[in-house]
Structure 1
Amino acid sequence: MKHLLVSGHRGCAGCCDAMATKFTLMGAGEDCIVVSPTGCLEVMTTPFPETSWNVPWIHSLFENAAAVASGIEAALKALGKKGNTRIVAIGGDGATMDIGLQAISGAFERGHDFTYVCIDNEAYMNTGVQRSSGTPFNASTTTSPAGKVSFGNQRPKKNMPAIIAAHGSPYVATTSLAYGKDMIAKVKKATETPGPTYIHCHAPCTTGWGFDTSKTVEVARMAVKTGLWPLFEMENGEITKVRKIGTPSPVEDYLKMQSRFKHLFNKEGGAEEIAKIQAIADKNIEHYGL
């Protein structure tokens, strides 16, 4: 198979963006056009005058990747060249769940035929690990730091797949870097489904989360095994497939792997906060039947 994202990019060792993008392109195939908003993926793969992309690629603003993807789809249709060409927008959690949400909402409401992939590393990693609406409860970031009077981010993680499903998307799925074949298959299904489709990929960031560069997949797998990151598919608003996890691992096993949660283990009251995170996992396990 031809590599559609090649070596030579500036990503960190163990980079989640590179892995998620490779899986995305393997699912979408060579006949695709990619739109990327500002973020780690854009910065590391396209330092002028170089590129790591072996498919047509367009850099959009932080906020308008979905609008650009919509325009590409409309232009190809107007020219009579749409055919089987897949249009894929790939953005981080900040560009997707925060800054780009309005453009995404409009594109999905209008019914454009493209796939949006969110690589969710749970903070604004490119600009200094600031909190996003994808940042999980009690994680420490540079704008929600843990300290004497705080356990870190106190807001729940935004449920972006549910928001997209509420727009009437025919296909929504969650994926993880720990399950590459699953992600490839889901992206393939998404890009082959007519209309606006959505993939949400859990993507551990070695730099922002604080773990060894060799542990990206291990950390990602543990998020799934605890129930904190359920893997499922939704078609026309209904959950149609869920990946079972068997006996769940305790959330402590996941939290201990990352320095962004280290305050929970060395600060008074940390055990109670860990119990709150365990409750989030337990609720997912019950809700999704994991």
Structure 2
Amino acid sequence: MAEIPKEEYLEKCTTACAGCTSSLTLRYVLKAAGPDTVLVVPACCTSILQGIYPNTSFSVPVYNIAFAAAAACASGMSEAFASMGKKTNVIVYAGDGGTIDIGIQALSGALERGTDFLYICYDNEAYGNTGMQRSGATPMGARTTTTPGGKTDAKKDLDRIVAAHNIPYQATATPAYPKDLYEKVKTALATPGPSFIHILAPCPPGWRIASDMSVTVGKLAVKTGSWVLWERKYGELRISSPSKSAMKKRAPLREYLSVQGRFKGISDSAVNELEQAIEKNIAQLAKEEAGEC
């Protein structure tokens, strides 16, 4: 893709699992951010895939921090750079466990304070680094090591929690659509104040899919409406073109669920609830885009 720079800031020596879309996501994020960037990484898969000290697969500085403290650390770091007159990009790169569950208080505080940073939640819908336990991001019906019969409650609506803070820029993305992801990171970093991007990151071992299926599954998430791509800038929402196309004729939800071993044996009632949630979410987003709410 000619629009995306050839420079690489994520080297080939990561310790990521085969087919890892978190590392693929980070590759595009760093291409958009460039070398004058600092990553703040709480405990998550990314704190492992960077390599074993003193070696690293990252070509930008990384600050590893405790689960709950990433956004707080980034707040101080952003203020420090500003006081020195530097425009260095401060990016929190955190999983769903460290965002939706453990780190949400620090995230909320940083957004409320107006911290000038980008917070990225790469969402593999479970605690992937410690064995794929259930998180607040795990969808209904998904099997994890702590929900072996399938999760019985819905995924936490992180995006609307973040939206309640009225931040300048917010978006969703997935590495299955790299140009869309790249452009949203560029926009987020060019927008003063706090920005937040929520990225769906299919996980081959956790989702029980083949390592060469992770991008395909990401595309299916969008085509079935399970993951809607959009961006909201200064309160105005725009649904992104891949999701616009998908909304005209959505693929059946079971096409997305059936290729993932974590949904093996999911009940019809759970599928119906997921479908209803998709319909409701799309309707709400369409109304907001039209200025009706």
Q: What one-letter code is carried by the residue in structure 2 that aligns with 1:275?
A: N
Which residue of structure 1 aligns with residue 107 of structure 2? 104
Q: Deviations over 1:35-68 (max 9, x none)?
A: 1111111111131221011011111111111111
Distance in 2 between residues matched to 1:39 and 1:20, nearest whole Å: 14
Q: Which runs of 5+ in 2 are unaligned?
A: 1-5
Distance in 2 between residues matched to 1:158 and 1:238, nearest whole Å: 23
- The answer on whether the counterparts of 1:251 and 1:281 sit within 8 Å (CA) in structure 2 is no
Greater shift, 22-31 or 238-247, is seen at 238-247
Q: Determine helix, strand or coil for the equivalent of 2:39.
A: strand
- The answer on whether the counterparts of 2:14 and 2:57 sit within 8 Å (CA) in structure 1 is yes
Shift of 1:236: 2.9
Q: Determine helix, strand or coil for the equivalent of 1:112.
A: coil
Which residue of structure 2 aligns with residue 78 of structure 1? 83
Q: Determine helix, strand or coil for the equivalent of 1:9.
A: coil
Q: Which runs of 5+ in 1 are unaligned?
A: 147-151, 265-269
Which residue of structure 1 aligns with residue 3 of structure 2? none
Aligned residues: 278
Which residue of structure 2 aligns with residue 222 of structure 1? 220
Q: Determine helix, strand or coil for the equivalent of 2:274.
A: helix
Distance in 2 between residues matched to 1:248 and 1:241, nearest whole Å: 15
- The answer on whether the counterparts of 1:165 and 1:236 sit within 8 Å (CA) in structure 2 is no
Distance in 1 between residues matched to 2:108 and 2:206, nearest whole Å: 28
Which residue, out of 273, 283, 286, partners 1:286? 283
Q: What one-letter code is carried by the residue in structure 1 that aligns with 2:250?
A: P
Which residue, out of 49, 66, 74, partners 1:69? 74
Identity %: 42
Shift of 1:91: 0.2
Q: Determine helix, strand or coil for the equivalent of 1:89.
A: strand
Which residue of structure 1 aligns with residue 165 of structure 2? 167
Which residue of structure 2 aligns with residue 140 of structure 1? 143
Which residue of structure 2 aligns with residue 259 of structure 1? 261
1:91 aligns with 2:94: yes
Shift of 1:273: 2.3
- The answer on whether the counterparts of 1:23 and 1:183 sit within 8 Å (CA) in structure 2 is yes
Q: What one-letter code is carried by the residue in structure 2 that aligns with 1:262?
A: K
Listed as ranges, the matches of 1:166-185 within 5 Å are 166-185=164-183
Shift of 1:280: 1.9
Q: Deviations over 1:88-131 (max 9, x none)?
A: 11000000111111111111111110000000000001001111
Q: Deviations over 1:228-259 (max 9, x none)?
A: 11111112334233431120011100000101
Shift of 1:87: 0.9
- The answer on whether the counterparts of 1:130 and 1:141 sit within 8 Å (CA) in structure 2 is yes
TM-score with structure 2 setting the length = 0.91
TM-score with structure 1 setting the length = 0.92
